[in-house]
Amino acid sequence: MIKVFVSGCYDILHAGHLEFFRQARALGDHLTVCFASSGVLWEHKQRRSSLPDEHKRALLEALDMVDDVVIGEGMDLGLDFLDHFFRVHPQILAVTDDDQYENQKRAICDQIGCKYMKLPKLPPSFEPVSTSQIVRWIKAPLEAPLRVDFAGGWLDVPRYARSGGYIVNCSISPTVSLKQWDYHLNSGLGGSGAWALLNGKSGVEDELALGVGWQDPAVISETGLCVWRSGPRPVLDFKLNGDWLAGKLALLWTGKPHDTPGVVDQERDYDRIELSGKIAREGLLNRDLREFAEGIRVYHEMQLAEGMDVLPDAAGALAHKYCGGGWGGYAVYLFEDMTARDAWVAIDTAQRRVIEPLTRP
């Protein structure tokens, strides 16, 4: 009888594990599966087990391709199964093709004349998923804010980052969910970052992969009225409770979507962008609404110089600018008070809407 041995965390079983077990079982006549105990999992992954060990053993034993299940208790990370391995004395130790402990495992195989065999990760009949992805999906929020950016935008794109530069933005409500999205799409409010968060993905990595910046998922996850340091990855300089801007923000829909990746290489005045971020940051530090508005105005002057259409003025507004990469989407308006804000929105509720800053603990 050819005995095959496999080991792993197998903390949250998914179709990728089942495919691996089927491949391993096909190599011989008997398959032993060793899974990491709750103690090993805590030591190895720094997280609690998804189920008590005996419950996990029962699930694995119920699989038709598995003949025996044992629990790895050893604290030699990556080799918690040694006692079971030498007791079972398998002819084949099957591993995935990304095995991180190849040298150690080959060494113990040589001790008993066992064959070390790598198996390719064949996807199941649907999109593969990892345990980490499942954990992120479970932890994903049911709703998320979008965001408005006030100053310093584009300095979060790694290739445009400037030492000493700042990005100023704020998360907003109403929030969105996978079932309800009451905003226009491709609108400059960081929708892709919110969508990634709601789907349990790493929004920062997704945005950087698109060749754009990290500010959207950073502030959507952090919430609040934030100042970030320009650089390759998000570093929070400081944040305020967004209530400082309560009753003062509104959006104007320009009537056309925009495409941030499509304009990321556009020529623009990064000196003015850097200046806008510094002015807005000082306004927040001084709790000076007009100084903060000046930073927004400086940024919008750069947008107009870039060739964007002139935005309509609004009575009682201290400043306005296009959100995100501009050239369409929403524009954010900062008002001196709620009365002026609400009066302006009431003129055209089809194109204008009230938003509020959102801060979560």
pLDDT digits (tens, 9 = 90+) for 292-335: 999 999 999 999 999 999 999 999 999 999 999 999 999 999 99
- Report DSSP state, residue 113: T
Torsional sign, CA 284, 289, 290, 293: positive
Give CA–CA dist 207/211, Å, rounded: 7
Task: Copy the structure tokens of residue 9.
Answer: 């965390």
Q: What is the pLDDT of residues 194-232, one digit of tens each?
A: 998 898 887 777 777 776 789 999 999 999 999 999 999
Give CA–CA dist 299/297, Å, rounded: 5
CA distances (Å), 186 to each of 176, 258, 264, 298, in order?
Answer: 14, 6, 15, 24
The alpha carbons of the chain give a radius of gyration, in whole angstroms, of: 27
Give CA–CA dist 38/262, Å, rounded: 48
pLDDT at 188: 94
Contact yes or no for 319/334 (Cβ under 8 A): yes
Give CA–CA dist 300/225, Å, rounded: 19
CA distances (Å), 33 to each of 36, 92, 323, in order?
Answer: 10, 12, 53
Other Cβ atoms within 10 Å of 258 Cβ, number = 20
Pick the CATH number of 3-137 from 3.30.420.40, 3.60.21.10, 3.40.50.620, 3.40.50.1820: 3.40.50.620
235: β partners: 229
Contact yes or no for 357/225 (Cβ under 8 A): yes
Give CA–CA dist 310/326, Å, rounded: 11
16-30, 33-47, 129-143 — most confident range: 16-30
Bigger pLDDT: 123 or 195?
Answer: 195
Contact yes or no for 251/355 (Cβ under 8 A): yes
pLDDT at 260: 80
The domain spans of the chain are 3-137, 141-357
Q: Stretch 34-46: mean pLDDT, rounded? A: 87
Q: Where does the chain have alpha helices with state H?
A: 15-25, 38-45, 53-61, 82-88, 102-112, 131-139, 191-198, 203-209, 215-222, 260-263, 270-285, 289-306, 338-347
Which one, of 361, 360, 343, lies nearest residue 352 by Cα? Answer: 343
Asked whether the predicted pLDDT for residue 341 surpasses 90, the reply is: yes
Pick the CATH number of 141-357 from 3.30.230.120, 1.10.150.240, 3.40.640.10, 3.40.50.150: 3.30.230.120
One-letter amino acid at 121 equals K
Other Cβ atoms within 10 Å of 217 Cβ, number = 27
End-to-end CA distance of the chain: 59
- Residue 64 buriedness (CB in 10 A; 0-12 / 13-18 / 19+): exposed
* pLDDT band for position 77 (cuts 50, 70, 90): low
Which one, of 327, 307, 202, lies nearest residue 262 by Cα? Answer: 327
Give CA–CA dist 221/193, Å, rounded: 9
